[in-house]
Homo-oligomer: A and B are copies of this chain.
């Protein structure tokens, strides 16, 4: 296997996650809270759906939602059809935060990729997306589920 590629992908992933974590920290949030808000930008899932989106156990999500609700980033809204469940809905404040963080992240990506030519940037985007897409499929996951950035719903 191409050692350089292994090394490069590992390092790149730490650099990108590091940037995300720094930005999350600026807003006093953890990375998983940011991911959750990212999911909630485009969806109003029930708890189990949210757990599946995040790849976590429902009990873990109970706590995540508790803490986010305490900070008024989202609310639990009763379901009409099933009185056991409800929808998790992002608040205006939560949306403000995630939008601001995504904007900051985009700016940071611009800094990080500034050394690449436009053609290299396009090629990088293509390759990265292809890898991520194939990986999502291999894991039987909805590949439209974005993580941080707006969930590019490319039908």
Give the interface of A toward B (CB within 8 A): 1-20, 22, 55, 102, 105-107, 109-116, 120-132, 134-136, 138-139, 146-152, 154
Contact = CB atoms under 8 A, between A and B. Distances in A.
Contacts of A7: 125, 129, 146-150, 152
A107 B131 CA distance: 14
A135 B112 contact: yes
B146 A1 contact: no
B129 A115 contact: no
B14 A147 contact: yes
Contacts of A128: 5, 8-9, 11-12, 124
Contacts of A10: 16, 20, 105, 146-149, 151
A1 B127 contact: no
Given A11-B147, A131-B12, A1 B124 contact: no
A145 to B, nearest CB: 9
The 6 closest A-B pairs by CB, nearest first: A11-B132, A8-B128, A13-B16, A12-B128, A10-B148, A15-B135
A55 B142 CA distance: 33
Contacts of A121: 2, 5
Contact of A129 (B4, B22, B106): B4
